[in-house]
Amino acid sequence: MKKFIFVAAFLSMVFSAFAQPKIEIVGGDTYDWGKANSTWLFLKKDFAITNVGNQDLQIYSVNPNCGCTTAPLSKNLLRPGDTATLSVSVNISTYSGDIKKGVEIKSNDPLNPGKYLWLKAYILKPITLFPQYLSFSNMPINKESIAKIIISNSTDKPITVKKVTIYPDAMSVNLKAGDQIPAKGDFTLEAKFTPTTTGRFMANIKIETDEKDVPEIILNGFGNIVEEMK
């Protein structure tokens, strides 16, 4: 009798050890989009999450490690053999070069309670700006102030300027229709303005181009016009 109880207890332990939920990301734990253009704005893909175990899989939460990523799940309870859809979207509009993002999936899988889906891509950005806006800083009244931005062209061909629209009209820039931003090169844009009244200064430059992925470049500028220091 004791031997029977021992065997029964042992078999119960063995069964318990093998009776458990098991999470699997169909296709693997890493996905690489390869080269992507930042002008696409978003990279999207649906991933299948499957319970390959023999007990119910409860997914407690899905946590992207970046605010640029969303990953809603179609359902949180998966019976054995059941599948849910994880709809991933990554905002790539501000990125360039290699990126790697992670999505943590927390569940009752005892072997993988915090499973990660890794997302990779190489982001091509046709035009980059440095800095991101024209900084005039403190602008003495009745004196010319200058702000600069480096416009970088990462494409294999020159980008031709079709039109330049400036606000305020009294501001001048060293760029006009017909000028080019060289292939794999830079152009340093200079904006000049001589203020006549004190207060907050705001500027805007719209550059229309022949680059289909970047048909226009918007530059904003800021400054604070002050009395001339004696």
Please report whether residue 13 resides in a domain. no
- Higher-confidence residue: 230 or 169? 169
Residue 12 has pLDDT above 60, yes or no: no
Place of tokens 């416009």: 151
Average pLDDT, the chain: 92
**Residue-number span of the structural domain to which 49 is assigned:** 20-124
Contact residues for 35 (Cβ-Cβ < 8 A; gap 6+): 121, 122, 124
Count of other CB atoms within 10 angstroms of residue 59: 22
Residues 6+ apart with CB under 8 A from 5: none
Residues 160 and 83 in one domain: no
Any domain includes 163: yes
- Domain count of the chain? 2
Measured from the Cβ of residue 23, the count of other Cβ atoms closer than 10 Å reads: 22
Residues 132 and 109 in one domain: no
Predicted confidence at residue 153, as pLDDT, reads 95
Same domain, yes or no, for 54 and 141?
no
* pLDDT recorded at residue 228: 79
Cα distances from 113 to residues 27, 48, 59, 179, 199, in angstroms, run: 19, 18, 9, 57, 57
* Residue 95: CB atoms within 10 Å: 18
Decide which of 66, 91, 124 is a domain's last residue. Answer: 124
Question: E strands along 56-157, which residues?
Answer: 57-64, 69-70, 77-78, 83-91, 97-107, 114-124, 127-130, 134-140, 145-153
57 and 97 share one domain: yes
Q: 11 in a domain, yes or no?
A: no
Q: Is residue 10 part of a domain?
A: no
pTM of the complete model:
0.67
Q: Per-residue pLDDT tens for 111-162? A: 999 999 999 999 988 999 999 999 998 999 999 999 999 999 999 999 999 9
Whether residues 146 and 65 fall in one domain: no
- Give the integer Cα–Cα distance in Å for 114 and 70: 17
Domain boundary among 124, 147, 170: 124
Average pLDDT on 45-60 reads: 98
- In the predicted model, is pLDDT for residue 33 greater than 90? yes
Q: Residue 218 sits in a domain of what CATH number?
A: 2.60.40.10
Neighbours of 147 (CB within 10 A): 23
For residue 198, give every residue at least 6 positions away whose Cβ sits within 8 Å of its Cβ, in sequence order, or none. Answer: 141, 225, 226, 227
Are 222 and 141 contained in the same domain? Answer: yes
pLDDT of 17: 54
Q: Is the domain of 191 the same as that of 139?
A: yes
pLDDT confidence tier of residue 11, bands split at 50, 70 and 90: very low
Contact 51, 93 (CB under 8 A): no
pLDDT of residue 19: 81
Q: Clarify whether residues 131 and 119 are in a common domain.
A: no
* Domain edge (last residue) among 77, 101, 124: 124
Indicate whether 119 and 53 sit together in one domain. yes
